[in-house]
Structure 1
Amino acid sequence: MKILLVAATWMEVNLLVDELEKVEEKSHLLKTYRLGDTQIDILISGIGLTFTTFHLTSTLHHDKYDMVINFGIAGTLTHQLAIGEVVNVVYEEFADLGTETPTEFLTLFESGFIDINEFPFENGILKASGVLEWDEMKKVRGITVNKSYRNSECISKILAKFSGHIETMEGAAVFYVCNWLGIECYQIRAISHYIEPNDSSKWNIPLALDNLKHSLIQHLKHLNVAVEQNNH
């Protein structure tokens, strides 16, 4: 099995790679590791939609993978999720891509620029395309934004318009690219903070990164066992 892990920053992969066997460095952004019989390439896509879309598309055109897993830390829009909790993001939306009128923000669908069911969207939503259940992780909805929201008024508008549980700057880009190219994709995130105005006192990035590492390694090992059993 050959898996591509996509993270925005090296910070989000440092703990994980300590658990893997390094094979080669394809570029400063793409490195190959191994876990048992599974090849794991790790792509550092950069923060945000543009960098992620470019580097992921380029990587997938040069090599073939059985699945893509976008992973990293994320902020949560709800206190129903705990700091440090690892979640499975199954739905994604572009939350600030559209048109601003004098009175409201309209998505590209509401503005009429894109049909709400134009591929790969379903009712304006992008979906994870794989069949793995990622047991013990809550399934959540994500919104992908071009800026990290910290203003009370902006946060209130986001909460009123979208039903996302978490906020990232890359998730929807990964789902969009992978759905277009027909590649199984997932998004696994660990909650590092609540989306609140000007308050970083409740952030716990070390806890989120540690929990993310343990969860990913556990599930990658299960995948590796399944591959070995199928080979026999």
Structure 2
Amino acid sequence: MIEIGKLNKLTNYHLIIAATNLEVSNLTRINQTIQQPNTPYFKISENIDCIITGIGQYNTVKAITHHISLYGKPTSMINIGIAGAYDNKLKLTSLVKVEKDIAYDQIVINNSLIQNWQEAGLPNSSSNIFTPIKTSYDNEIVLKYKTALTSDTISNDPLRINAIGKKYNPDIETMEGAAFFYTANEFDIPSIQIRAISNYVGETDKSLWKIKESIVELNRFVNQEVLTKLK
């Protein structure tokens, strides 16, 4: 667990995290985006901040850590954004909560055998599956729980997709979620991850994706069903 000592400058505030400006384009806000060094952010209300981390796991860890170093630990953190679905029963633009998130890049591939670092016996390694510390309002966010997989690699290789499915059986894929849960847990912060399904994993025809529509639905839900729960 990371301790930040006397750096706490705000009390009882909540932090929303998104990878891109587009994914929060319709959120309620009381000011415009502030281009602070490294991490753009804006205030949704007096007690809710929103930061734009950039895409990927490293950017996510850096941005959250930087914000906490400046403003102190939030009461809770909420990661929102789009996701690709492995499960074709998940409808495009539908919303889910993430129950656990798998850091797929932390693996060893030996011929066709896939192992995480711990399974492969790498020293000082731990599980690559992250579950959040639940927020006090988790049960009030009425969405189905799903398993996510996080990877910084974008691929439509059917062999890779099939291997992932066989090993972990994920429902959705993102590029930040596992890093978000990891960082929240290291700071001992309750967290929740909400994703809108914008496409199916492996689909290369982007005309079939529904990014804009997914973000509209995501932001509508967050404005109406999440922000109202943050006290």
Same fold (TM over 0.5): yes
* Dislocated runs of 4+, deviation >3 Å: none
CA-CA distance at 1:105 after TM superposition: 2.5
Does 183-192 or 49-58 show the bigger shift?
Answer: 49-58
Query: Residue type of the partner of 1:184?
Result: P
Instruction: Report the CA distance between 1:114 and its aligned residue.
Output: 6.2
Aligned twin of 1:230: none
1:32 corresponds in structure 2 to 42
TM-score by length of structure 2 reads 0.85
- Using the alignment, how far apart are the partners of 1:209 and 1:24 within structure 2? 18
- The alignment status of 1:125 with 2:129, answered yes or no, reads yes
Change in Cα spacing, 1:59 to 1:221, as seen in structure 2 (3 Å) is closer
One-letter amino acid of the counterpart of residue 18, structure 2: A
**One of 79, 91, 104 as aligned partner of 1:95:** 104
Match in the other structure for 1:82:
91
The counterpart of 2:22, out of the listed 11, 14, 34, is 11
1:34–1:152: structure 2 CA closer, same or farther, 3 Å change rule? closer
8 Å contact 2:148–2:177 — kept in the other structure? yes
Higher mean displacement: 92-101 or 158-167: 92-101
Q: Distance in 2 between matches of 1:215 and 1:115?
A: 40
1:199 and 1:112 map into 2 onto residues whose CA distance is 40
Identify the residue that residue 204 of structure 1 maps to in structure 2.
210
SS in 1 for 2:195: strand
Q: How many residues are aligned here? A: 216
Cα distance change, pair 135–186 in 1 and its aligned pair in 2 (3 A) = closer
> Percent identical across equivalent pairs?
27
**Counterpart residue identity of residue 149, structure 1:** S
Match in the other structure for 2:226: 220
CA distance in structure 1 between the aligned counterparts of 2:71 and 2:63, rounded to whole angstroms? 12
1:59 lines up with 2:67 in the alignment? yes
Residue in 1 aligned with 2:5? none
Say whether residues 1:161 and 2:154 are aligned partners: no
Amino acid of the structure 1 residue aligned with 2:131? K
- Cα distance per residue 1:176-223 (max 9 Å; x no partner): 011011011111110000112423232101110011011101123421
